[in-house]
Structure 1
Amino acid sequence: MTRRMLGTSGLEVSALGLGCMGMSEFYGAGDERESIATIHHAIDRGVDFLDTADMYGVGRNEELIGKAIADRRDAVVLATKFGNVRGEDGSFGGICGTPDYVRSACEASLKRLEVETIDLYYQHRVDPDVPIEETVGAMAELVREGKVRFLGLSEAAPETIRRAHAVHPIAALQTEYSLWSRDAEAGLLPAVRALGIGYVAYSPLGRGFLTGQFKTSDDFAPDDWRRNHPRFSGGNFEKNLALVGEIEAIAAEKGCTAAQLALAWVLAQGDDVVPIPGTRRTARLDENIGALDVVLTTEDLARIDRVLPPGAAAGERYHAQGMATLNG
């Protein structure tokens, strides 16, 4: 397994991570046994960078990861997040970045994960009502106490990242990045590179759409939240499906799948970029790992840019409420 450094932090991870969110929520019903088997298979294949958050499944995803790595903790780089508050019934209670909440959230995550230390601890979304210096200051205390090794931010604005980094080194920024979500190229990627911060790309397969497996909205489970996602709704679905057709055509010429082409493109954006595609199935995991063998030439990248330039996707990344929490 190829490995990559997250900026200049000293944190080394597999070049491809595993996003675990969908194992517990949002993408239809999951199977715990299958999910644990997939995590074990990932570790066996050298994928050691596991990504979760306290909000996924209202804590259930962290508990699942804890079970999966109980006998192989030293074989993984464990990343989780705090900040999106949810009630026990799953309701969303806004964003919180107060120092007291940072500490309580971390303690709760450690307990659910059944570990003594979190390798990479992200603020999931920036709290607009709490200065970033206060939030990161509390996160830095966790590092000094040995409860956290490295700090990260998710969906933060360049100036926020600079202010946070001045309080304590930030190892990684995580935001959405894929062939149909290229917003980060304008300001975020240059900003984190200037600071020596690694970049972790979530949803590198466009929430599965770039794999080509979805042809109509009926392909989603009834309780799959993508049914109501802006890019999967109304006329946007058909427009984005046409973009996937372009990806599939190029992939066929390269002798790979659409998913592998999409991941290879993200990997080709720099050695400081680490995509974390999510899957619950070992077959899909193996397919994703195959992207590491796909070599994109300068000509390939130029062609992809022509058919999928920044802003090509139809529809916003989230509904209005979710968009308001981005670039904080």
Structure 2
Amino acid sequence: MATSGVGRMKLGSEGLEVSAQGLGCMGMSAFYGTPKPEPDMIALIRHAVESGVTFLDTSDFYGPFTNEILIGKALKGIRDKVELATKFAISWAADGVTPVVRGDPPYVRAACEASLKRLDIDCIDLYYQHRVDTTVPIEVTMGELKKLVEEGKIKYIGMSEASASTIRRAHAIHPITAVQLEWSLWTRDIEEDIVPTCRELGIGIVAYSPLGRGFFTTWPKLLANLEDNDYRKYGERFQVENLQHNARVFERLTELATRKGCTPSQLALAWVHHQGSDVCPIPGTTKIENFNQNIAALSVKLTPEDMAELEALASADAFKGDRYPGTSLTYKDSETPPLESWKGE
């Protein structure tokens, strides 16, 4: 199957233009087992940019910090070719296990300036609030981000795992360019409320884990290859009792992919691309051959009948297990206090 050009898209309505598919960089440094060799990852990032995938996604939480440092090294001499997104808000508590989320103005500013140094750049193209601090009114966090835009330290503001009502409140303070959420055949709960809200407000949608955290890429050998420090090993959907059920969906996906002349992962990624011209998936990988397969998904054309078949086999109750443990931070638990309650700076 021939690979078409990656192409470009408008992300949101504030002027940001990115490649039609991005590159999620988290797995190069964190959460998916042992960090990969730095020279190999720099080569992969540069290959991506040369291939037309110029929208790179990272966070200060990945490592923590090591992924931003890696990206900074990879961008030497090619910064002007890249749309760079990073995030702030999450850190680890002293126990190294409990995530701490902060959105107070001093933290927002300090985090931004630290990311600029690690990335060794003057301005962040898209700066996301990685998770919502439910103790700080969203208007307060956004107010500080607005100042950072005015100072030229960031160009555009994004949010991740925020509820529709939180997005609305934030957007009223400063236009939100993009909202990043998990969206795939594996996870479709945002379609009811958040996607319509983003479209009403002219906000772009960035789909992370569009390949189901590797499920659509490497099943059935995925579980056997996970290292002990790969957090997927402990996720509900990756437990044996759930995987046996979820594998049936994969088998049906494989049948349709065979008919379409592509791989199951390309079909799953093409489904995300077909959600609309305002959606940019950011599949991650650590291998150039997998990256090349991912961009080939852009040339997979799906008919309305194909889409209906895919959505029938990946209905809301098709997969067993929550996408995150019940204590995790997601948009379902992202409401903040009213602005008038704020007693901080």
Query: Which whole-Å deviations, capped at 9, do the CAs of 1:116-157 have from their partners, x for residues lacking one?
Result: 000000000000000000001000100000000000000001
Letter of the aligned partner of 2:115 in structure 1?
Answer: S
Query: Which whole-Å deviations, capped at 9, do the CAs of 1:281-316 have from their partners, x for residues lacking one?
Result: 110000000000000001100111121113321100
1:165 matched to 2:154? The reply is no
Instruction: Name the CA distance, whole Å, in 2 between partners of 1:245 and 1:235.
Output: 17
Instruction: Name the CA distance, whole Å, in 1 between partners of 2:91 and 2:226.
Output: 27
Which residue of 127, 139, 142 corresponds with 1:121? 127
Q: TM-score, normalised by structure 2?
A: 0.92
Letter of the aligned partner of 1:13 in structure 2?
Answer: V
Instruction: Name the CA distance, whole Å, in 2 between partners of 1:81 and 1:164.
Output: 16
Q: TM-score, normalised by structure 1?
A: 0.97
Instruction: Name the CA distance, whole Å, in 1 between partners of 2:233 and 2:271.
Output: 26
Match of 1:22 in 2: 27
CA contact (8 A) 2:131 2:330 kept: no
Which residue of 262, 267, 278 corresponds with 2:284? 278
Instruction: Name the CA distance, whole Å, in 2 between partners of 1:46 and 1:89.
Output: 41
Match of 2:14 in 1: 9
Letter of the aligned partner of 2:160 in structure 1?
Answer: S
Show structure 2 runs of 5+ residues with no match.
1-5, 335-345
* 1:324 Cα offset (Å): 5.7
CA contact (8 A) 2:163 2:331 kept: no
Instruction: Name the CA distance, whole Å, in 2 between partners of 1:216 and 1:99.
Output: 41
In structure 2, do the counterparts of structure 1 residues 324 and 14 end up closer, same or farther at CA, with 3 Å as the change threshold? closer
Of the structure 1 ranges 234-243 and 104-113, higher mean CA displacement relative to structure 2 is found in 234-243
1:145 matched to 2:151? The reply is yes
Match of 1:206 in 2: 212
Match of 1:42 in 2: 48
Of the structure 1 ranges 157-166 and 4-13, higher mean CA displacement relative to structure 2 is found in 4-13
Instruction: Name the CA distance, whole Å, in 2 between partners of 1:164 and 1:5.
Output: 21
Instruction: Name the CA distance, whole Å, in 2 between partners of 1:323 and 1:182.
Output: 17
Residues 304-323 of structure 1: pairs in structure 2 closer than 5 A: 304-323=310-329
1:75 matched to 2:81? The reply is yes
* 1:321 Cα offset (Å): 1.6
Instruction: Name the CA distance, whole Å, in 2 between partners of 1:195 and 1:110.
Output: 29
Instruction: Name the CA distance, whole Å, in 2 between partners of 1:237 and 1:227.
Output: 11
Which residue of 55, 67, 92 corresponds with 2:61? 55
Match of 1:106 in 2: 112
Which residue of 247, 263, 272 corresponds with 1:257? 263
Residue identity over aligned pairs, in percent, reads 52
3-state DSSP class of the match of 1:320?
A: coil
* 1:323 Cα offset (Å): 4.8
Instruction: Name the CA distance, whole Å, in 1 between partners of 2:295 and 2:95.
Output: 36
Query: Which whole-Å deviations, capped at 9, do the CAs of 1:205-233 have from their partners, x for residues lacking one?
Result: 00000114443622212321111111101
Instruction: Name the CA distance, whole Å, in 2 between partners of 1:322 and 1:203.
Output: 16
In structure 2, do the counterparts of structure 1 residues 90 and 214 end up closer, same or farther at CA, with 3 Å as the change threshold? farther
Residues 282-297 of structure 1: pairs in structure 2 closer than 5 A: 282-297=288-303
Instruction: Name the CA distance, whole Å, in 1 between partners of 2:225 and 2:119.
Output: 33
The Cα RMSD (Å) is: 1.4
3-state DSSP class of the match of 1:278?
A: coil
Letter of the aligned partner of 2:7 in structure 1?
Answer: T
Letter of the aligned partner of 2:25 in structure 1?
Answer: C
CA contact (8 A) 2:214 2:222 kept: no
CA contact (8 A) 2:93 2:100 kept: no
Which residue of 172, 180, 185 corresponds with 1:179? 185
Q: Which ranges of 4 or more aligned residues in structure 1 deviate by more than 3 Å?
A: 87-93, 212-216, 323-327
* 1:34 Cα offset (Å): 1.2
* 1:325 Cα offset (Å): 6.2
Instruction: Name the CA distance, whole Å, in 2 between partners of 1:195 and 1:249.
Output: 38
Instruction: Name the CA distance, whole Å, in 2 between partners of 1:174 and 1:201.
Output: 6
Letter of the aligned partner of 1:22 in structure 2?
Answer: G
Instruction: Name the CA distance, whole Å, in 1 between partners of 2:332 and 2:49.
Output: 31
Letter of the aligned partner of 1:248 in structure 2?
Answer: T
* 1:240 Cα offset (Å): 1.2
In structure 2, do the counterparts of structure 1 residues 216 and 6 end up closer, same or farther at CA, with 3 Å as the change threshold? closer
Instruction: Name the CA distance, whole Å, in 2 between partners of 1:310 and 1:198.
Output: 23
Give the number of aligned pairs: 328
3-state DSSP class of the match of 1:322?
A: coil
Of the structure 1 ranges 285-294 and 31-40, higher mean CA displacement relative to structure 2 is found in 31-40
